Structure 1
Amino acid sequence: MSNSKTREIFVTGLKNARAMESQALAIMKPQVERIENYPDIAAKLQEHIRETEGQISRLEEILTSLAEEKSALKDATLSVTGAMAALGHTVAGDEILKNSMANFAFENFEIAAYKSLITIAELGDFAALVPPLKANLDEEIAMADWLEQNLRPTTIKFASLKEAGASAKV
């Protein structure tokens, strides 16, 4: 594979990842603001928001090192899409469950994106740029694992609150 084509693929992937992380923020921030009955989920989302902001910084540093800039159009488009996705769940009677499932799916999408980016970096002789991508990947894997481990307890708590007649929505 030609190094210029590999670089082009890598830069596009980096810009897409940067926009993807902006979308993640647009999804998580409204969710965390609405959570009342699930403080553990709110705390984990707050932690992952901070991690995501760090991931964006790492991606921007990589782009800068390649003399590239983020894609403002991709960022804006995916941020709006993320905000709309978060808003869509607010009308669901089981919003916390919908959010948990959607977040788990999105984390796995991010994991796949970083695994692909790392592969392209290795193919294109950008091995020096792999560590920050690996740091992002590790954070996404940790969040996906947490969501998976907490889906059952969240579902049980939701059902218990519903049975008790309490607000189980968020």
Structure 2
Amino acid sequence: MPATEIRDVFVTGLRNAHAMENQALSIMKPQLKRIENYPEVAEKLDQHIRETDAQIVRLEDILDGLDEDKSTLKDLALSFTGSMAALGHTVADDEILKNSFANFAFENFEAAAYKSLLTVAEAGGYGAAVTRLQENLAEELAMAEWLNDNVVALTTKFLALRQVGETAKV
């Protein structure tokens, strides 16, 4: 594949990842505001929101290094869909569980996107981007692992709180 095509694929992937991270923020921030009885989840979400902010900066640095801009339209579109997804769970009696399942799926989606971007970066000789992309990938994998490791405890706590009439929200 010609270098220009690899570059095009790489830039498109970076723009998509930037929009994906903005979508992640639009999903996590409303969740964090609604959590009251699950401080361990709130703490982890807050941490991952900060990581996501840093991931966006890393992606912008890579795009800047390529003299490319992010895609504002993609950012807006995916942020909107993320907000709608987060809103959809607020009416569920098991909101905390649904959010956890959706977050687990999304973290794995993000990890796959970064693995793909790393492959393109290596194929195109974009070594300067690799370290930043690996940092983003490691954070996504760590969050997915935390969600996976905590689903049983979260479900157990949900059942115990539900038994006494408590919920995930105010």
TM bucket, shorter chain? over 0.9
Partner of 1:137: 137
Which position in structure 1 is the counterpart of 2:111? Answer: 111
1:27 aligns to what?
Answer: 27
Match of 1:161 in 2: 161
1:95 corresponds in structure 2 to 95
* Contact 2:34-2:168 at 8 Å conserved across structures: no
Q: How far has the Cα of 1:161 moved from its partner?
A: 1.0
State whether structure 2 residue 63 is matched by structure 1 residue 72: no
What residue in structure 2 maps to residue 12 of structure 1?
12
Whole-angstrom CA distance in 2 between matches of 1:129 and 1:41: 31
Q: How many equivalent residue pairs?
A: 169
Letter in 2 for 1:81: T
Q: Which SS does the other structure have where 2:93 is aligned?
A: coil
Query: 2:125 corresponds to which letter in structure 1?
Result: D
Amino acid of the residue matched to residue 45 of structure 1?
Answer: L
Unaligned runs of 5+ residues in structure 2 are: none
Q: TM-score, normalised by structure 1?
A: 0.98
- Cα RMSD of the aligned pairs, angstroms, is 0.6
Instruction: List, as ranges, runs of 4+ consecutive aligned residues in structure 1 with deviation greater than 6 Å.
Output: none
Q: Unaligned stretches of 5+ in structure 1?
A: none
Hey, what's the Cα distance between the residues in 1 that align with 2:45 and 2:168?
17
Distance 2:128 2:24 in 1: 26
TM-score for the superposition, normalised by structure 2: 0.98
Q: 2 CA distance for matches of 1:150 and 1:125? A: 38
The answer to whether residue 15 in structure 2 is matched with residue 52 in structure 1 is no
